[in-house]
Amino acid sequence: MQKRLYQIDMCSGPLWNKILLFALPLMASSMLQLLFNAADIVVVGRFAGTEALAAVGSNTSLINLMINLFVGLSVGTNVVVARDLGAGRNDNVRRSVHTSVALALLSGVVMMIFGVVMVRRLLVWMSSPTDVIDLATVYLRIYFFGMPANIFYNFGAAILRAQGDTRRPLYYLTTAGVINVALNLFFVVVLHMDVAGVGLATVISQYVSALLVLRCLMREQGPLHLDLKKLRLEWPVVRRILEVGLPAGFQGVLFSLSNVVIQSSLNSFNDPVIVAGSAASANIESFVYVGMNAFHQAAITFVGQNYGAGKTRRVDKVALECIGFVTFTGLVLGNLAYFFGWELAAIYAPGEPDVVAQAVLRLGFIACPYFICGVMDTMVGVLRGIGYSVVPMVVSLVGACGLRLIWVATVFPLFRSPATLYFSYPVTWIITGAAHILFFLLIRKRTYARVRGAGQEACLSVEGLHPAQEKRAER
């Protein structure tokens, strides 16, 4: 019963309906997770003022910078488990599950200690405005106490996604989301705790969702079952996770680092209205992004399983169908966000027309062409699913992060305005996305030519051949 309810057969039959079955619950759960942050922003904006709104909202890029390395490691977990499931290597799946959970718990504790100790210094390095740095420090210090739960949830959800289960994480986030909203209102409106209240509500809700995932894995039947007594770091498994996850994490860190530079440039205007407007827009954009990101995650998992099973033709189909879905989703959601931008931004900053105007300005540059970023990410997911993780990291370093930093250092001083900073996003998406597509086409052409010459099925990457071919490739 459990298999029929929560697993998806990714290696046979039509793909489009299964991709949607996978992606739509993931999209809903990701948007629900964003509502945690949106609830923080809305409540603090309505009941604590513009400075508190800027203190909470301006931390997004820094938070992403700190956790993206470990979110990338969870991508490695997803790929490793999905490929082993596709190949029928259940013993490897069990080892990967227990190693991943141990790695998540260790990483969460390390990040919590680092964040609590270093948070104010990090904000100073970001040139956080002097009138919000104290409030921002309070919020971030509390937020980092939730890191063990945050990272564990991401790893646990990645394990469940490897078998196509995106529905139970949705149920768990629904429960946690209701708790988060209720606690936000109680701590801020009733107890007048301002940014400390929204931070505490977020942390509590994160631990609720993490505990629900833990309970799910402990009750799971089959190779995904978690036994706490068997938790350990098995270094061969850690190495496999790191081969995909570490470059993926570094890529996320590099993107976040460039966004931190953009945020620091916005902070240099020393205008809370610009910072608050950008924060409100960023939260609206996030809903568009996670809508597209669901198909990026689908690409990783579907490609991983089919690659593990040696079905490379289905890898092509997964890539094409995910690109089609992500383009449609990005165009629809991005343009709707801009069209209703004034009304949406007013939710975050009621009675603040200048803040709303700044938010709409940013939406025009980022939300409308956001589908390009979705295509770029989906191609990265395809490459990771077949075992290529270093190359996307390098391409992103040069194409997106490097160019964005060059833009801030050269173009921005000549045309000093928020619009100049925002325009750097679509420019770098186009260049980086084109590079990812070109690399995939080059890999595919060479590998498929070799397959036709040998008269047998091969995989797309020497880094991760089908199990029957791995030892020969190592020689």
Q: Residue 246 in contact with residue 76, Cβ under 8 Å?
A: yes
CA pair distance 45, 111, nearest whole angstrom: 28
Q: How does pLDDT run along the chain (475 residues), one tens digit per residue?
A: 444 567 788 878 889 999 998 899 888 877 877 776 666 677 777 666 666 777 676 666 677 666 777 777 788 888 888 878 877 788 888 998 999 999 999 989 998 998 888 888 888 877 677 777 778 888 888 989 999 999 999 899 989 988 888 888 888 888 888 898 888 888 888 887 878 888 898 899 999 999 999 999 999 888 889 989 888 888 888 888 888 888 877 777 777 677 777 877 887 787 788 888 888 888 889 899 989 999 998 998 898 888 777 777 888 999 999 999 999 999 999 999 999 999 999 887 777 888 899 999 999 999 999 999 999 999 998 988 877 788 888 888 888 778 888 998 899 889 888 899 999 999 999 999 999 999 988 887 665 444 333 333 333 233 333 333 333 332 3
Predicted confidence at residue 429, as pLDDT, reads 92
What is the token pair recorded at 44? 């603090």
Predicted confidence at residue 47, as pLDDT, reads 66
In one-letter notation, the amino acid at residue 98 is H
Predicted confidence at residue 452, as pLDDT, reads 36
CA count, 13 A, side-chain hemisphere, 205 = 28
Nearest to 444 by CA among 313, 272, 258: 313
Predicted confidence at residue 379, as pLDDT, reads 94
Predicted confidence at residue 259, as pLDDT, reads 75
Predicted confidence at residue 337, as pLDDT, reads 94
SS3 74: helix
Predicted confidence at residue 340, as pLDDT, reads 94
Question: To the nearest 10°, the Cα dihedral for 356, 179, 137, 281?
Answer: -20
Domain spans of the chain, in order of start: 9-451
Question: To the nearest 10°, the Cα dihedral for 73, 74, 76, 78?
Answer: 180
Predicted confidence at residue 462, as pLDDT, reads 32
Whether pTM exceeds 0.85: no
Q: What region does 204 belong to: left with phi over 0, alpha with psi -120 to 50, or beta?
A: alpha
What is the token pair recorded at 35? 């509502």
Predicted confidence at residue 286, as pLDDT, reads 86
pLDDT digits (tens, 9 = 90+) for 456-469: 333 323 333 333 33
DSSP-assigned letters across all residues of 119-152: HHHHHHHTT--TTTHHHHHHHHHHHHTTHHHHHH
CA pair distance 117, 163, nearest whole angstrom: 38
In one-letter notation, the amino acid at residue 133 is I
Q: Residue 355 in contact with residue 50, Cβ under 8 Å?
A: yes
